[in-house]
Structure 1
Amino acid sequence: MTTAFRPNKAIPTLPTMPNGWPVASYDTYAEAQRAVDYLADSKFPVHDVTIVGVEPLLVERVAGRLSWGRVLGTGAASGAWLGLFVGLLLSMFTIGPAFGPILLGLAIGVIFGMGFAAINYGATRGQRDFVSHSQIVARRYDVLCLPAEAEGARSLLAKLAIGMPATPVTA
């Protein structure tokens, strides 16, 4: 069993199925990550290990209600930042006080930001009056290992399950 880090290991650029045998299964990603960290602390060749999320789900968590006030407020804020940036750029090429272009850019940015936000929100016609955040989660997370090292990984992860501290594997 080698413990050297292999930085040149080819990571696929296209989606491919993972290789290896299942050595453990966990309910959360944090538990699977803890298991791989335990393997690494035990000097196990973790370059042969893969965490696979099984049965992925798209979860959309609703964060709040969307109203015209909130839409116009966020539109004004984002437009203000863009207007401030443009105003600062213009002020670098202006002779005289720099506050004029900055304030003009800020005002125009707020107006355009509110206008574009109102147009976008109005186009939905009340079909989506909430703000949400999406994430992909899995029902379980399997830890896979190449067959040559699978039994060693299972043995180490059994020690983790009963609470034994990580000890380096001897060759």
Structure 2
Amino acid sequence: MTNIKSICVYCGSSNLVSDEHLAKAHQLGRLAAENGIEIVYGGGRVGSMGRVADGALAHNGTVTGIIPEYLDKLEVAHKDVNELIVVDSMHTRKMAMFERSDAFCILPGGLGTLDEFFEIATWKQLGMHDKPLIIVNLENFWTPLLDLIRHQISAGYLRQNPADIYSVVNNIEEVFTQLKSMPESNIETDIKQL
């Protein structure tokens, strides 16, 4: 794998989603562990977030959770991860996740997942980083988002080829196939500019 030692996983924290999505989140954690890639994620123990962590931990993987203090107080933090970092805000959490990750993976999720995707994609569009960004379109979950981005292009609001910003895969195995073919980063990221 091209210099990828850690992958940030953005995903949902709801247990009310399909069993298939929860199983795929667990599979992502397992495959990351098997490939020697650390999981960096939002630190939760519920929903897909918890399943990603559990999948990696069950296969001797390394998991770093980063959670804001107020969510930790609500007792949703996963206390069994290798490292749990409690931060003061969502903004600090997102920056810490960025700093600790060599690549980003977007699983199905809600508004928080969209927020994280748009921020990291915008930073890449602006040339502030060139870390791999992979959308996992399980069961066409993200197709409406991809259609919206195509609409933005056709309306003239987005001039850059989306393929220069992110890759789209349809299953978990493809995430790791994509990572193996990614070129090494050429951008020295100055965190202050973000």
Verify same fold: TM over 0.5: no
Question: Which bin holds the TM-score, normalised by the shorter protein?
Answer: under 0.3
Question: Under a length normalisation based on structure 2, what TM-score does the superposition of the two structures give?
Answer: 0.17
Structure (1 or 2) with the greater strand fraction: 1
Q: Which has the larger radius of gyration?
A: 1
Q: Which has the higher contact order (CA 8 A, sep 6+)?
A: 1
